[in-house]
Amino acid sequence: MRRALLLALLLFAGCKRSEDEAARARIFSPEQPVGTLPEAKEALDARRLADDPELARRILHMRRKEIDQRLGTHKAQQRVQFAWFRGPGLPDGGSEVSLSEEATLLDAGGDDFSLRLVNDHNQGFEMVAVKGEVFVKSLYGAFHKRRSDRTEPDRVREQALSGLATFDRLARGLKLRNAGEATLEGRKVVRYTVVGFGARPEGKTQDDLPPVKYPENRVDNDTARRLELWEKEEPASARGTVVIDAETAAPLGCDLTGRFKVGGGGQGPNAELALHSVLTTSSVGKSLLLKAPQAEPETSVPHAVKDPLRFLGKGPAAGPQAGEPDEDDEEEAAPQK
């Protein structure tokens, strides 16, 4: 009876491990090409942004993956500078937090791209996604091949070059005026001048996620302060220009400056954000070949990190077991003396 029970437990553990390995391989497998995004086929009129606030939002918030499919290969550079000012009139002089960062994207078409982001605090990273593989390095480190889920590279690319969409959201919708057409690197573009803000009332959109459910229906103080940026901020000024590709309606560039305020609500001083966002696009349709960089092998991870329960002798894998050794075991036992 004991033998049968032990055999059943071993079989169950083996099946469970097989299921876990299959799930892990499925999650981290390269994404299969799914063709063109449906929204990338939508015909958009780049000359009507000043007359249609919803169309302006649709274009100014266009995802990088859709821009890639509309433009093809291209190079995009974004520079963002911001400074938070809190209570300059306080006895202690208040506080200020500032940052300047630059992101450079080389989009080689499909899912292949390279991204470099640096800031004036001597921080940054680089990412290369090519042929279904992802390589990442810190600003001064070496590349390492990264095992990531299939949506992570797109999310990183989107967040690194979201300055135009963020500025438009903070401004509650930019009010634009058509400044005529021009030519940029041989392409026809439509230029717009920012003449105001608050073009759209805040409301739920198709891109919004369901409401977040917080524990005990309460928000901790730190999270509440972060949410105030979107819930309580009010634009004070906005000016600049936006450039839209006439053929594809993809946003090609912007140079925007604005100030935004968040009230203290009677519990503290007001905060003010000064923001400057610049976007440029070049080399549209030109050949941008990317190749996998030289990458260092991953460092060995101690069992205490990879499997803490097993290391402490409290996990299901603790103790001697029959069968083959764990595939994750990369360290050999020290020889007996």
pTM of the model: 0.74
User: What DSSP state is assigned to residue 325?
Assistant: P
Mean pLDDT for 17-39 is 63
Nearest to 258 by CA among 53, 83, 61, 58: 83
Question: In sequence order, what are the residues at sequence separation of 6 or more whose Cβ sits closer than 8 angstroms to the Cβ of residue 77?
Answer: 102, 103, 104, 105, 279, 280, 281, 282
Least confident window among 31-45, 75-89, 100-114: 31-45
Split at pLDDT 50, 70, 90, the class of 132 is confident
Q: What is the mean pLDDT of the chain?
A: 81
Is residue 204 scored above 60 in pLDDT? no
Least confident window among 158-162, 178-182, 227-231: 227-231
Mean pLDDT for 49-66 is 95
The pLDDT, as a whole number, for residue 47 is: 96
The pLDDT, as a whole number, for residue 96 is: 79
Type and span of the H or E element at 166: helix 163-170
Mean pLDDT for 238-250 is 97
Beta strands in 45-90 (DSSP E): 74-86
Return the percentage of the chain with pLDDT > 90, whole number: 50
The pLDDT, as a whole number, for residue 42 is: 93
What are the angstrom distances between the C-alpha of 99 and each of 120, 132, 135, 157?
7, 33, 26, 19
The pLDDT, as a whole number, for residue 5 is: 62
Is residue 206 scored above 60 in pLDDT? no
Is residue 216 scored above 50 in pLDDT? yes
Q: Which of 89-98, 191-200, 222-231, 289-298 has the highest mean pLDDT?
A: 191-200
Mean pLDDT for 269-297 is 90
Mean pLDDT for 198-227 is 74
The pLDDT, as a whole number, for residue 262 is: 83
The SS3 of residue 88 is: coil
Kindly write down the DSSP assignment for every residue of 3-24, as one continuous string. Answer: HHHHHHHHHHHHHHHHHHHHHH
Check if the beta carbon of residue 259 is closer than 8 Å to that of residue 277. no
The residue to which tokens 């470099």 are assigned: 116
Split at pLDDT 50, 70, 90, the class of 119 is very high
Is residue 301 scored above 90 in pLDDT? no
Q: Which residue has the higher pLDDT, 33 or 43?
A: 43
Is residue 99 scored above 80 in pLDDT? yes
